[in-house]
Each structure stands twice: as C-alpha cells, then as structure tokens.
Structure 1
Amino acid sequence: MVAQEFTVDLNKPLVFQVGHLGEAYEEWVHQPIVSKEGPRFFQNEILEFLTRTVWWAVPVIWLPVVCWCLAMSIERGITLPQLALVVATGILLWTLIEYTLHRFLFHIKTKSYRGNTLHYLMHGCHHKHPMDGLRLVFPPAATAILCIPFWNLAKLISIPTISPALFGGGLLGYVMYDCTHYYLHHGQPTVEPGKHLKRYHLNHHFRIQNKGFGITSSLWDIIFGTLPTQKSPSKAT
C-alpha cells in the first residue's frame, strides 16, 4: 500500500507541519510563494511574536554595541588608522562567515522531521516566502547567540587591544548584511552596485538556488566557484 503524500495546509501554522514532508520538503521549500503577507508559524502568540522582526531593529540594537566595541579598543591604545584597518578586516571576516553560513548551514539538505523543521525556521521559510518583510532579518535573540562564537573567534585570532574592534567590525558587517538583504527584497535600487546585488540575489531565489550565496558581495562566490550565470529571474516581482 502506497503511503499518501503529506500536504501542507497554508491556512494553519506551518512550523510543525513541514517536518512531515520528509524527502519532499526540499522541493516544496524551494517553490516560492511571492506575497508580502507572511504565513503564521506558531499557534502560540508569544512564539509567533518572537519570529517577527522589523528591519530597523537591527541598526537600532546593534550599532550602539559596535560603537562600544570600537571605543573599548581606543581606550586600550589603538590608533585611528589601526582602528579603520581592523574594522575593515572584521567586515571582510563577516562576509566570509555570511557566505559560509548561507552555503553550508542555511542550504543543508534535510529529510527528517526535526531536520526539516529546524531548517524551515533557520532559512527555509525565507525561500518559501521571500517577500515576508517581518522575517527577513535575524531576530535579536538569534543574533546575540551568534555573537558568542564570533566574540571568541575575535579573541582567538587577535590581541586584547584590537579584539573588540575586530568584533565590532564583524558586527558592523552583519548590520550592513541584514539591512542590505532587506533592501534587496523590498527596495528598488536605481544605481549600481544596488541594481546588480538585487539581480544577483533574486537570481539565487528564483533561478539557481544552489549558487550565489553572497548577499553583500559576490567575492566568495567568485573565489569558491559558486558564481551563477547572470540572467534575470522570471518569477521575481
């Protein structure tokens, strides 16, 4: 007897449904629904609230932390030219982390109930509903958790004088990334490089989803051979 395929009911909370798709999840999650109205994730109101974040919360919450980190390095004796170099290094380091997370974690292939559920929460929801404006940036709690290993990395690869500035540069890179990501989906850039980045990212969503993992830059796609061919996506709006 052939088991009946599971069908997701889009009118009900999705998170605890998608795991039942099994091997069909990969195909389902990469068939985008282009609508600015996002789906409901949880029946519980508190959990549902925690999944939604307005884009401006990112700079409001994290830019003061960036400034505090830079001030800490200045107090420890770093010069302004050194500060600029370290911050630029931190931003570059973030772009590599951004690429690595997007390619190897956010696009991991899953088929188990837990795997599908976790992947949907991490990134699958963004590919299924790419225009959901309240789920385009990282929730602050998730960012705070990611800050812990990045802070430890900054301390590991640098000296105490510059480690706060290196971390601050990386955090600034993250803020630039999340704000850029939101703008690429909901803004209409009229000049380069904004126009290129929007085409590049929508190409990843609607045409070649296993390439083009950079958001703020295509640098690491070029270096690691995941640069997609350039063609305007047919389904983007």
Structure 2
Amino acid sequence: MVKQAFAVDLNKPLVWQVGHLGEAYDEWVHQPIVTKESPRFFHNGALEFLTRTPWWMIPLVWLPVAWWFVSSSLNYTDIISPYHVAAATAAGVLGWTLLEYSLHRFVFHMRTNGYWGNTVHYLFHGCHHKHPMDNLRLVFPPAAATLVLVPVWNLMKLILPDCYAPAFTGGILVGYVMYDCTHYYLHHGKPIQGLTHDLKRYHMNHHFKLQDMGFGITSTFWDRVFGTLPPTKPAKKSN
C-alpha cells in the first residue's frame, strides 16, 4: 500500500487536486464512492459544463455523423455495390469492439504517478472508477470522443480504399454509440436476466472486484482472446 501524503478534499473541485496524489493516485481512484451525486471538477463554469454529458447526447450527435460517413461510401456505387458498403460498415462495428477493448485496457487503465498523468487519467477514465454511478460523466463528452475519431479517420484513409474508408469509419461510430449506450445501461439499468444481466454483473465485477480484468463492455470476446477474462468461482464440492 502506497502512503498517501496528500488528501483530496471532495467538497472542492477535484481535477486540479488529484495530480498531487502522486503514486497514491492509483489506489485512491480505485476506491469507489457509490453515490449518484455528481462531484464538481472545475471552478470554471464553462469547463464544468463540458464534462457533463447526458447519455442521449451520444446517439443524437454521433448517429448523424455515422450516416454521413456511410453515405459518403454510397457515392461510390459506380465502383462498389451497396452490399459492399453494408459489409464495410458491419466490419467497422466489429472493429470498434477491438478498439473498445484496447482503449479500455491499455489507455484508460494505464498506471500514472505524475501530476499531469494523474490529472489526464482522472479526466478520461479515473473519475468513472472513483464515482461509477455519476450519470453525467459516464458517457464520453463529444469533444473528447472527437480527439479519438480524428486520428482513427485519418488512419482509415491511409489503409483503406477511398470507397471503403468512410463506411468502415461509420461502422466504428455505430459501434461506439452501441458501446456508450450499453455502458450507461449496465450502470443505471436493472436487467433481470439474459445477456444484459450477465454483462452488468461482468462489468460490476470489473469496477468493484477485479479492476485489472474484464475490459470488454459490449461483449467478453476480446477478454477471452487476450486472457483477461475474470476467473469464475470454483464449484462447491458436494458432500
């Protein structure tokens, strides 16, 4: 256990405090506070506003953008058929699942101990682990998501033909919308049985028990592939 020399005052804006935790940050941020209250991040009202995003903003903002990308590929129907556009879009959705896993495991769960590393980590993901039921900081603000989308789009233009790159990118955005809406539901919905019930239990296990495993949100597929699937409890022996 790392000795915590700095104490965060939860009654004051948090973002500029957490960096001072140094090596104690990782332990602090993984001690969740389970409340629906939304802590204040910044003194500045404009910055504070940008950190709060209701879940319905995600489909509202990104589904039209996804359609614009897909329709851009439909402009190439003299080269490819609509079926090929649909296939590229579906491939983008599947590609998102790998991106979802990779970002969550290697970026959002990166260990930091310096002032700016802790601060940036807290803004992108640490705040979600500290306050997992904060419903206004559960989905990604559009401005932050744009920081990921721009390099992804530029990469797709480099590695894919012009007719396929927009549809594939649109599929990635559709996958992202599915991810963020699913993530919100896993925290605030109350599924009784079935797939969503299993996913909720799986994700809550990631938050409250094994935070270095179970990085998939919409599925457990990549956790199975890369060996980060949480272990199941051994069966009880019968007498």
TM-score using structure 2 length: 0.92
Matches within 5 A, 1:1-237: 5-77=5-77, 78-230=80-232
5+ unaligned residues in a row in structure 2: which ranges?
Answer: 234-239
Using a 3 Å threshold, how does the CA distance of structure 1 residues 68 and 43 change in structure 2: closer, same or farther?
A: same
Deviations 1:103-146 (A, max 9, x none): 01111111111111111111000000000000011111111121
Aligned residue pair count: 229
1:4 deviates by 7.9
Aligned-residue CA RMSD (Å)? 1.4
Q: Distance in 1 between matches of 2:218 and 2:177?
A: 11
Q: Distance in 1 between matches of 2:45 and 2:112?
A: 28
Find the counterpart in structure 2 of residue 235 from structure 1: none
Q: Distance in 2 between matches of 1:71 and 1:111?
A: 44
Query: Is the contact made by 1:200 and 1:230 (CA closer than 8 Å) also made in structure 2?
Result: no
SS of residue paired to 1:212: coil
1:84 deviates by 2.3
1:60 deviates by 0.4
Q: Distance in 2 between matches of 1:187 and 1:33?
A: 19
5+ unaligned residues in a row in structure 1: which ranges?
Answer: 232-237
Deviations 1:9-30 (A, max 9, x none): 1111111111111111111100
Letter matched to residue 185 of structure 2 = Y
Query: Is the contact made by 2:214 and 2:220 (CA closer than 8 Å) also made in structure 1?
Result: yes
Query: Is the contact made by 2:153 and 2:169 (CA closer than 8 Å) also made in structure 1?
Result: yes
